[in-house]
Amino acid sequence: MAIGSTQGHDRVAAKATLDVGAIKQLYQVERGWRDMKGALKLRPVFHHREDRIRAHVQLCWLALLLIRTRENATGESWGCVREELERMHLVTLETSEGRVARRTQTSAGQRRILAALELPEPPLFSDFEVGATPD
């Protein structure tokens, strides 16, 4: 009799584990839809052709996949990653002698995110253009 009750307990525990797993999966799916509406700023789009509908859904899915891979790699939410990286700016300085684009210094948070994503730090200076010199 003790064996039967142990087996019954094991079945209940296994079902509870499956239920918890299913709930977690459902939560992740719901979170994905919320993110597609919120983080991706998606709004209703009315397509009339099936190929356009499929393409739209695939693009949304790819965007969500990109968000999730970035969250998993950095251990931070997409909102935090985006907010930190949005602080990096590129400023164009232009004079009569030429033009150069310079970005802001990389913060510790930005360096950590770039390292987690295995991305190189962008160059500090870019887009050099020397003005015409008078002869």
Same domain, 61 and 19: yes
> Which structure tokens are listed for 97?
């002698």
What pTM was estimated for this model as a whole? 0.61
Percent of the chain beyond pLDDT 70?
75
Please answer whether residues 97 and 131 qualify as being in contact, where contact means their C-beta atoms are separated by less than 8 angstroms: yes
**pLDDT, tens digit, 9 for 90 and up, residues 68-108:** 899 999 999 888 999 999 999 999 988 888 899 999 999 99
Q: Cα 52 to the chain's mean position, in Å?
A: 24
**pLDDT, tens digit, 9 for 90 and up, residues 8-33:** 556 656 666 667 777 777 777 777 76
pLDDT of residue 14: 60
Does the structure show a pLDDT above 80 at 63?
Answer: yes
Adjacent-strand bridge partners of 100 = 93
- Beta 90-95 vs 125-130: how paired, if at all? unpaired
- Cα distance between the two ends of the chain: 105
Report the C-alpha gap between 58 and 63 in whole angstroms. Answer: 9
Domain that holds residue 44: 2-72
Same domain, 7 and 63: yes
Structural domain includes residue 135: no
Same domain, 59 and 17: yes
Structural domain includes residue 77: no
Same domain, 18 and 55: yes
Please answer whether residues 77 and 85 qualify as being in contact, where contact means their C-beta atoms are separated by less than 8 angstroms: no
Structural domain count, the chain: 2
Q: Which of 22, 39, 72 lies at the terminal end of a domain, its last residue?
A: 72
Same domain, 67 and 18: yes
